[in-house]
Chains A and B, each alone.
Chain A
Amino acid sequence: MESILNWISGNEQIIYIVILMVFVGIEIIGRVPSVLHTPLMSGANAIHGVVIIGAIIVMGKAESDNYLALILGFLAVILGTINVVGGFVVTDRMLEMFKSKKKAPKNK
């Protein structure tokens, strides 16, 4: 019991971040029109690509003779980058169409 309380006070900041972010995430989504659900899912998908930062840290810390860590870390960096870059590009492509759609009625 004591160790749990210690852990909580030791990680106070992190726990606050988690709680606040949960509410921010819910608030943001709650106001999205269903039309934008797919781009939003895709955008969120790109954002959880922040996991790439962990991959970079793993890679950067690995000793140069620890091949297992190097190879796994390298793979992780590649996969994380694909998630981030691919995610943002796909989202942009989807949204590009929404933009052209908005212009169309004005031209008429």
Chain B
Amino acid sequence: MEISLLTLLYIIASVTFIIGLKMLSHPDSARKGNLIAAGGMTLAIFGTIFLYRDEAGNKLHNYAWIFGGIVIGCIIGTLSAKKVKMTAMPEMVSLFNGMGGACAALISLVEFNHLQHTLENSRIELLMMDAAGPVQATLLVIMAGLIIGSVSFAGSVIAWGKLNGKIKDFSFNGQHIFNIVLLLVIVGLAAYIIGWLPENASLIFYAAFVLSLLYGVFFVLPIGGADMPVVISLLNSFTGVAAACGGFLYGNKVMLTGGILVGAAGTLLTILMCKAMNRSLANVLIGSFGGGAKGIAGDTNKEAGHHKEINIMDTAVVMAYANKVIIVPGYGLAVAQAQHACHELEKLLNERGVEVKYAIHPVAGRMPGHMNVLLAEADVSYEKLEEMEQANEEFPTTDVVLILGANDVVNPAAKTDPSSPIYGMPILDVELAKTIIVNKRSMKPGYAGIENDLFYRPKTSMLFGDAKKVLQDLIAEIKSI
């Protein structure tokens, strides 16, 4: 009775995951969808705690430990999720993802320890009688969970560190080859353990564990910030697969459903993001962007001419007397927490009869939708946000384009310079507008490390400074006109 009740709960949970993800795909139902999935998860967790029986029909024990862990996890999870700033959301998602990966890896560690006893006692018999199949299958799942979980954990932590600036880009010559060799060694070790059940299996197991962590680190380290969304999404789907490995291990259908669902969805999302940047997934995986881009940046630097600066007062006048202004937000806006000031500027210009819109590039910021979330926080209305295609149609009739901390997404090199690492990426054609004002903190290249020709074009003026400060000054200036 109890065990079949648990099966029912698992089925309900699986359905809520699917419905939840489905509802997350519409703005109207998204929030409800998230809550439904959370409800299903709660059912599955408490069902497992109270109703789970192992093969021999034994109940779970160690309730104190389980509840202790859940309470601690709840507190840490809720607090960190509530306190995190909107700008730091991508890092947070990455970190949570890493926790899931670590969880999967730890499960594999413990299960391997259980299995090891069996191995030590009956390894020879198993091999002699050719009955090692089930053990090998279990071992395969354990190894897969360990490797994928560890890579996901280490990679997510690095991605988190890179996004909040604690870890700098790092790459060395031959890193691609090093990564590939490392991966081959890990796979080789896993195959050796599974295929031959060697006597010193535990030594090799822990070696594979450490190497997987190392691979996670070296996998993400050389990749530039522009690629972080792709990497996080990919690691997200990795963790999904790692969770599914746990599902295999325990024959647990809800873990399998949830894990594979996220694995598949995450992989597709990753590919969609790559497409938006016109790059192949393989290219991102090998991690050539961050390293290669710097050399090219150095070359184009010399050809660059002079840039023109504009002050707040002139900017205020140009904007206040324009008919149509399009704002292009980027990561700089997020860093400066300038979304509220931005909305205020928009309202002010609106009152003066200026039409204001926002042009959102699909990969602006550090994650797709990053800018939408940010502007939504400041109550910018939906209709004002335009996707790239729409915006590109409107630029020719636009008087002023104000670029707030965006760089690579408006770099004309993506269209004109085949040697540029971002060549072929669709960009916002801001050059079609009459005037372009670029707000940046300095002339430094953007996160992809590429020089931007746009800043040296005759129609472009530079407005240096922190986005929030500049916007506030601009608002004050426009009010006084």
Which residues of A are in contact with B by a Cβ distance under 8 Å? Answer: 3, 6-7, 13-14, 17-18, 21-26, 28-62, 64, 68-70, 72-102, 104-105
Contacts and interface: CB of A to CB of B under 8 A. Distances in A.
Contacts of B426: none
B348 interface: no
B69 A28 contact: no
Interface in B53-77: 54, 59-63, 65-66, 68-70, 72-74, 76-77
Interface string B360-389: 001000011110110011011111010100
Interface stretch (B13-21, B302-310, B314-322): B13-21
A-B interface, 7 closest residue pairs, ranked by CB to CB distance from nearest: A81-B73, A60-B60, A25-B264, A77-B69, A85-B77, A86-B77, A54-B246
Contacts of A80: 73, 99-100, 103
B82 A60 contact: no
Interface stretch (B217-225, B233-241, B280-288, B402-410): B233-241
Contacts of A21: 256-257, 260-261, 264
B7 interface: no
Interface string B13-47: 10001101110111110110111011001001100
A100 B379 contact: yes
Nearest to B92: A90
A4 to B, nearest CB: 9
Interface of B: 13, 17-18, 20-22, 24-28, 30-31, 33-35, 37-38, 41, 44-45, 48-49, 52, 54, 59-63, 65-66, 68-70, 72-74, 76-78, 80-82, 84, 86, 89-90, 92-93, 96-97, 99-100, 102-104, 106-107, 109-111, 113-114, 133, 137, 232-233, 236, 239-240, 242-244, 246-266, 268-269, 272-273, 276, 362, 367-370, 372-373, 376-377, 379-383, 385, 387
A82 B133 contact: no
Contacts of A40: 21, 24-25, 265, 269
A51 B265 contact: no
Given A25-B264, A26-B268, A29-B265, A51 B100 contact: yes
Given A26-B264, A82-B76, A51 B259 contact: yes
A104 to B, nearest CB: 5
A49 B244 CA distance: 11
A8 B374 CA distance: 48
Given A32-B25, A34-B369, A70-B65, 15 more contacts: A14-B253, A17-B257, A25-B262, A25-B268, A35-B369, A40-B269, A54-B249, A56-B66, A58-B106, A62-B62, A82-B76, A90-B93, A92-B31, A101-B376, A101-B381
A18 B369 contact: no
Contacts of A38: 89-90, 93, 367-370, 372-373
Say what secondary structure dominates the interface of chain A. helix
A89 B418 CA distance: 43
A82 B38 CA distance: 13
Interface centre among A41, A61, A62, A80 (most CB of B within 10 A): A41
A29 to B, nearest CB: 4
Interface centre among A22, A39, A47, A97 (most CB of B within 10 A): A47
B383 A57 contact: no
A84 B239 CA distance: 13
Interface centre among B65, B69, B92, B104 (most CB of A within 10 A): B69
Given A18-B260, A54-B249, A85-B77, A77 B70 contact: yes
27 contacts: A21-B257, A25-B21, A28-B21, A29-B264, A29-B272, A31-B25, A36-B30, A43-B33, A44-B261, A45-B100, A48-B263, A49-B243, A50-B254, A53-B255, A56-B48, A68-B113, A69-B110, A73-B65, A81-B70, A84-B41, A87-B77, A89-B78, A90-B89, A95-B30, A95-B34, A96-B31, A105-B383
